[in-house]
């Protein structure tokens, strides 16, 4: 039986040759992402913005009357609602914001939910309430804070681990690659204005995990080759390591991708944003392990001495061991 | 490396079998086959986003507890000084600025007053509850200590949780989860509830019932403007009352609270057929109610619920039977709700719903079905790709993947964790990522063969060299997962749980189990070459 080979044997692609232009492009993309996040902003769902989200199905209709709903709810006096198709054509999610200070009127969210649902139930016979989320400004503020802490803590802890397991240059490289992944994912969410919820934070943490997976595999091979080929120039050695692990990188990204894509198309609508985020992150993460994490090692001056003590150090140690110093 | 003694193999198979067995009850629950009752049945719980139900986060207003404490202290000080033998006269009582201050008419009484107040200051618990200072020789100032207030808030939350539990039980809800969270919060989770409105209305009702004498001296014009005479306070009429929009002035002290009740039922007024609530006092409450009514025959008293006057009837005759009837424009539903609230006791502090998430049961069932379909297609694709790429080694990876899914489910059931909607995404990710270990190992074996190593050496080296990266990668993923679990809430936690447990099961199945199978095959078949 002839087995499939996605990547031919002994590839010798000069990845690192283009490291400066690619790195410049990456920096540009990071800057663009943050510019988008700051100017367009993230489309916060109720988790982070507070307010009310009602999900409903129009069981007898082929298509939900989105435009009509928007007008009707706007007349109820809760500001401009966000009405979106959600999953099937006849399913919608309706979002309204509430005044930040819910403690002043703690029943505000409750009252708004009741008014909207009752109005729609009266207007449409086939309105089926699938659920609602109701988050006060206080709780959403806490969610924003913990989400930020979780991301920062995860990045810091992982960078620290890599530093301990490898060398500080590797830790910095990995951290920068992670920053790149997180930035670009946020940028995508700002660009497409996809709803940004707690689930997306989970998605980003998953991306961090898998992007690191790649980075570690490449780093592990670099470490191995550094010990093996002590005289090889670093860019060449990095290219060799990336090429040697290329088959694995392609294969793993592909298995993750083909596992995720059915979930994207056939999975529950409420998971779409999260799975889309992870899928995007998969590409970004794979790219960053090759073009962000590896070149950093050249610039930060990793040498084989980082893992094998130099002769003078070895001599020193031997002297100590013999009690000569 | 490839040497597996029999005891080790037996041990690995035992762990695998046990974990897979633990998954059986959860799997069977989706079919009509019943798991025998006699056997233990570890189950994976379905999160509210899959099973349908309501998650409600309640927060208490802790400043109320402090205010109530101050009011109790004021009443306590007045009573203590009045009952002292001989009576200690005090004046200029003030509770401004969160502290209680008063002036002794006779400064020489100061030591006796201090002596009398000592038990209340020290409190009953381990912490000192109040600080006492004296100014100008005759003004005593009582300031609540932080520890005392914290203790009071904690006690209030404890009994509030108990009250919430009683009220939910009264509704007959099955398997509610009621947990205190942080200093001032309570999480209520009720699966499968179709109509959370009733529950929320019930939890939102403090049900603080008070009977206070109406201050007849107060000028009506002042009262309507919100100006209370000294010693009185003003309450508005409830929305359901006929007098809604106007207010009543009542004497601040000397009333009765409705916390000494033994029962409360919804009923109908025999004359008007209006829904009412009948209440029964306990002996202490009954005695005080009889005393209040017999001392004030002919005068009106206000029935106040949660700061709103329900009605202010005249006391026609002393009420001695220890029962009373409350009317106030109720519907049957609201009367019933009030009866439940009164029966379960008043909440010691107001609770507000600050987060609510409700999912209809239909949607949850749809999500599970769609998730399963997606997972099946995804797994099939992964398996196909693994087999066409790695042949025999792909088959090993596939079998390991099946065990991985079963073990993951089994461990989740054994630990009694909850599967949420993001948890389904976690399952799919685990399936996609678990084979990464096999990919790493198999690619490595390919390389080693290419470098000309013999079969056994290549496989041995493949496992050894790949393990390092596998463990490092899994540990970093573990760090991300644990942080997600610590910082995440509800459904997102469910995702973290699946990811973290999945890391352990996938390393076990994809590395340890496949190594055992490969070793077995190498020993038995002794292949000269491997197709990879």
ipTM of the complex in this document: 0.85
Residue B357 sits at the chain A interface (C-beta within 8 Å): yes
* In a shared domain, residues A25 and A111: no
Lowest mean pLDDT among A101-105, B441-445, B482-486, B525-529: A101-105
Round to whole Å and give the CA distance between A26 and A64.
Answer: 41
This prediction's pTM: 0.82
CB contact under 8 A, B355 and A270: no
Given a contact cutoff of 8 angstroms between Cβ atoms, the answer to whether B422 and B492 are in contact is: yes
pLDDT tens-digit series, residues A110-147: 677 778 888 888 888 888 888 888 888 888 888 889 98
Q: List the domain range (segments joined by +) for residue A80.
A: 51-135
Rg of chain A in Å (alpha carbons): 26
Chain B residues with CB under 8 Å of A111 CB are: none
Round to whole Å and give the CA distance between A234 and A226.
Answer: 8
CB contact under 8 A, B480 and A208: yes
CA dist list (Å): A154 to A294, B476, B477 = 21, 9, 10
Residue B407: predicted pLDDT: 95
Residue A324: predicted pLDDT: 57
pLDDT tens-digit series, residues B422-464: 999 999 999 988 899 999 999 999 989 988 899 999 999 999 9
Interior angle at CA A240, CA A236 and CA A246, nearest 5: 140
* In a shared domain, residues A216 and A302: yes
CB contact under 8 A, B481 and A150: no
pLDDT tens-digit series, residues B287-298: 888 888 888 888
Report if residue A315 sits inside a domain.
no
Determine how β-strand B45-46 pairs with β-strand B418-419.
parallel
pLDDT tens-digit series, residues B355-395: 888 888 777 788 888 999 999 999 999 999 999 999 999 99
For the segment A94-111, the average pLDDT, to the nearest whole number, is 65
Min Cα distance A162 → chain B (Å) is 8
Residue that wins the pLDDT comparison between B253 and A200: A200
pLDDT tens-digit series, residues A243-265: 999 988 999 999 999 999 999 99
At the topology level of CATH, where does B6-50+360-525 sit?
A: Multidrug efflux transporter AcrB transmembrane fold (1.20.1640)
Min Cα distance A31 → chain B (Å) is 25
Interior angle at CA B466, CA B465 and CA B467, nearest 5: 95
Report if residue A316 sits inside a domain.
no
Round to whole Å and give the CA distance between A209 and A157.
Answer: 12
What is the tally of structural domains in chain A? Answer: 2
Residue B284: predicted pLDDT: 84
Q: Could you tell me the CATH number of the domain that includes residue A125? A: 3.30.70.3400
* In a shared domain, residues A92 and A151: no
Round to whole Å and give the CA distance between B83 and B81.
Answer: 6
Cross-strand pairs, B523: none
Q: With residue B276 as reference, give the H or E element that holds it.
A: strand B275-281
Residue A134 sits at the chain B interface (C-beta within 8 Å): yes
Of A251, A264, A282, which to mutate for an interface test with B (greatest number of B Cβ within 10 Å)?
A251
% pLDDT > 70, chain B: 99
Enumerate residues 22 to 61 of chain A having a beta carbon within 8 A of any beta carbon in chain B.
55
* In a shared domain, residues A290 and A160: yes
Rg of chain B in Å (alpha carbons): 35
For the segment A274-301, the average pLDDT, to the nearest whole number, is 88
* In a shared domain, residues A157 and A33: yes
User: What's the number of CA atoms in the CB half-sphere (13 Å) around residue B234?
Assistant: 17
* In a shared domain, residues A32 and A175: yes
Q: With residue A26 as reference, give the H or E element that holds it.
A: helix A19-39
Mean pLDDT across chain B: 86
Min Cα distance A37 → chain B (Å) is 23
* In a shared domain, residues A172 and A296: yes
Lowest mean pLDDT among A103-112, B313-322, B412-421: A103-112
Given a contact cutoff of 8 angstroms between Cβ atoms, the answer to whether A147 and A48 are in contact is: yes
H-helix segments, B391-454? 392-414, 421-450
Min Cα distance A281 → chain B (Å) is 13
Domain termination residue (choose one: A135, A161, A188): A135
CB contact under 8 A, A208 and B465: no
Q: The domain B62-145 is classified under which CATH number: 2.60.40, 3.30.70, 3.90.1070, 2.20.200?
A: 3.90.1070
* In a shared domain, residues A190 and A258: yes
Residue B501: predicted pLDDT: 95
User: What's the number of CA atoms in the CB half-sphere (13 Å) around residue A102?
Assistant: 29
Q: Is B146 a residue whose pLDDT tops 60?
A: yes
Round to whole Å and give the CA distance between B165 and B179.
Answer: 10
Residue A103: predicted pLDDT: 47
Closest CB to A161: pick one of B353, B433, B475.
B475
Mean pLDDT across chain A: 84
H-helix segments, B126-188? 146-170
CB pairs A-B closer than 8 Å: 236
pLDDT tens-digit series, residues B188-227: 988 876 667 777 778 878 888 888 888 888 777 777 877 7
* In a shared domain, residues A166 and A124: no
Report if residue A10 sits inside a domain.
no
Residue B220: predicted pLDDT: 78
Q: Is B476 left (phi over 0), alpha (psi -120 to 50) or beta?
A: alpha
Chain A residues with CB under 8 Å of B362 CB are: 128, 130
Chain A residues with CB under 8 Å of B375 CB are: 262-263
For the segment A23-46, the average pLDDT, to the nearest whole number, is 93
Q: Top-level CATH class of B55-61+150-357?
A: alpha beta
CB contact under 8 A, B483 and A150: yes
Residue B226: predicted pLDDT: 76
- Give the start-to-end residue ranges of the domains of chain B: 6-50+360-525, 55-61+150-357, 62-145
* In a shared domain, residues A121 and A248: no
Report if residue A320 sits inside a domain.
no
Q: In what order do the strands lie in the sheet with B323-326?
A: B261-268, B275-281, B323-326
For the segment A292-314, the average pLDDT, to the nearest whole number, is 72
- Candidates B495, B444, B420, B377; CA nearest to A207 is B495
Chain B residues with CB under 8 Å of A265 CB are: 374
Cross-strand pairs, B358: A132, B54
Residue A102: predicted pLDDT: 47
Residue A319: predicted pLDDT: 64
Q: Is A100 a residue whose pLDDT tops 60?
A: no
Domain termination residue (choose one: A81, A105, A135): A135
pLDDT tens-digit series, residues A154-210: 888 888 888 888 888 888 888 899 999 999 999 999 999 988 999 999 999 889 888
Lowest mean pLDDT among B96-105, B187-196, B511-520: B187-196
Min Cα distance B419 → chain A (Å) is 14
- Candidates A46, A51, A60; CA nearest to A128 is A60
């Amino acid at each position: 039986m002839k087995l499939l080979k996605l990547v031919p044997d002994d590839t010798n692609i000069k990845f690192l040759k283009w490291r400066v232009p690619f790195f410049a492009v990456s920096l540009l993309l990071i800057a663009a992402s943050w510019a988008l996040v700051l100017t367009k902003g993230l489309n916060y769902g109720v988790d982070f913005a507070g307010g009310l989200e009602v999900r409903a199905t129009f069981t007898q209709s082929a298509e939900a009357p989105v435009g009509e709903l928007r007008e009707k709810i706007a007349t109820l006096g809760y500001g401009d609602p966000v009405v979106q198709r959600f999953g099937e054509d006849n399913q919608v999610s309706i979002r309204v914001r509430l005044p930040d200070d819910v403690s002043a009127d703690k029943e505000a969210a409750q009252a708004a939910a009741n008014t909207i649902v009752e109005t729609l139930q009266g207007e449409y016979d086939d309105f089926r309430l699938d659920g609602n989320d109701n988050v006060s400004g206080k709780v959403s503020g806490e969610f924003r804070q913990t989400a930020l802490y979780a991301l920062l803590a995860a990045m810091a802890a992982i960078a620290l681990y890599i530093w301990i397991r490898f060398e500080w240059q590797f830790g910095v490289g990995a951290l920068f690659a992670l920053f790149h992944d997180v930035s670009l994912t946020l940028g995508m969410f700002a660009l497409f204005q996809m709803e940004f919820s707690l689930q997306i934070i989970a998605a980003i943490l998953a991306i961090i995990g898998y992007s690191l997976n790649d980075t570690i595999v490449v780093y592990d091979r670099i470490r191995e080759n550094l010990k093996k080929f002590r005289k090889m120039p670093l860019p060449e050695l990095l290219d060799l390591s990336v090429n040697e692990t290329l088959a694995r990188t392609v294969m793993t990204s592909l298995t993750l991708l083909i596992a995720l894509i059915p979930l994207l198309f056939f999975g529950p609508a409420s998971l779409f944003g999260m799975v889309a985020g992870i899928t995007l992150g998969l590409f970004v993460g794979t790219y960053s392990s090759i073009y962000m994490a590896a070149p950093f090692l050249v610039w930060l001056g990793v040498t084989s001495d980082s893992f094998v003590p130099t002769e003078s150090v070895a001599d020193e140690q031997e002297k100590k061991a013999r009690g000569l110093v | 490396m490839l040497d597996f003694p029999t005891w080790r193999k037996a041990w690995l198979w035992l762990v695998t079998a046990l974990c897979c067995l633990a998954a059986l009850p959860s799997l069977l629950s989706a079919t009509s086959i019943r798991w025998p009752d006699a056997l233990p049945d570890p189950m994976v719980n379905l999160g509210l986003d899959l099973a349908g139900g309501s998650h409600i986060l309640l927060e208490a207003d802790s400043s109320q507890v402090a205010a109530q404490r101050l009011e109790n202290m004021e009443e306590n000080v007045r009573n203590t000084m009045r009952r002292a033998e001989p009576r200690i006269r005090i004046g200029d009582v003030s509770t401004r600025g969160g502290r209680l201050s008063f002036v002794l008419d006779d400064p020489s009484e100061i030591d006796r007053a201090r002596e009398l107040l000592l038990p209340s200051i020290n409190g009953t618990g381990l912490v000192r509850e109040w600080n006492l200072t004296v100014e100008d020789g005759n003004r005593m100032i009582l300031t609540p200590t932080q520890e005392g207030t914290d203790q009071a808030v904690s006690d209030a939350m404890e009994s509030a949780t108990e009250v919430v539990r009683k009220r939910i039980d009264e509704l007959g809800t099955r398997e509610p989860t009621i947990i205190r969270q942080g200093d001032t919060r309570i999480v209520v989770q009720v699966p499968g509830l179709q109509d959370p409105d009733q529950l929320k209305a019930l939890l939102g009702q403090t049900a603080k019932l008070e009977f206070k004498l109406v201050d007849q001296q107060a000028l009506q014009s002042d009262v309507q403007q919100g100006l209370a005479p000294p010693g009185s306070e003003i309450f508005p009429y409830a929305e359901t009352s006929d007098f809604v929009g106007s207010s009543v002035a009542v004497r601040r002290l000397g009333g009765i609270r409705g916390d000494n009740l033994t029962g409360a039922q919804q009923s109908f007024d025999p004359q008007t057929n209006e829904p009412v609530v009948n209440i029964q006092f306990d002996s202490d409450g009954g005695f005080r109610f009889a005393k209040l009514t017999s001392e004030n025959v002919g005068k009106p008293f206000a029935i106040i619920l949660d700061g709103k006057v329900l009605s202010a009837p005249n006391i026609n005759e002393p009420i001695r039977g220890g029962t009373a009837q409350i009317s106030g424009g109720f519907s049957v539903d609201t009367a019933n709700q009030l009866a439940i609230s009164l029966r379960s006791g008043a909440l010691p502090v107001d609770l507000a719903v600050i987060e609510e998430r409700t999912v209809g049961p239909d949607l949850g069932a749809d999500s599970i079905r769609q998730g399963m379909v997606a997972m099946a297609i995804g797994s099939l694709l992964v398996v196909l790709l693994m087999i066409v790429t790695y042949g025999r080694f792909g088959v090993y990876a596939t079998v390991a993947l099946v065990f991985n899914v079963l073990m993951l489910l089994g461990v989740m059931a054994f630990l009694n964790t909850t599967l949420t909607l993001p948890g389904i995404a976690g399952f799919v990710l685990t399936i996609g990522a678990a084979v990464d270990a096999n990919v790493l190992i198999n690619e490595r074996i390919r390389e080693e063969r290419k470098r000309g190593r013999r079969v056994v050496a290549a496989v041995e080296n493949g496992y050894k060299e790949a393990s390092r990266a596998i463990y490092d990668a899994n540990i970093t993923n573990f760090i991300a997962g644990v942080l997600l679990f610590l910082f995440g809430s509800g459904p997102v936690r469910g995702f973290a749980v699946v990811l973290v447990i999945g890391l352990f099961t996938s390393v076990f199945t994809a590395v340890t189990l496949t190594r055992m199978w490969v070793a077995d095959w190498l020993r038995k078949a002794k292949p000269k070459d491997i197709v990879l």
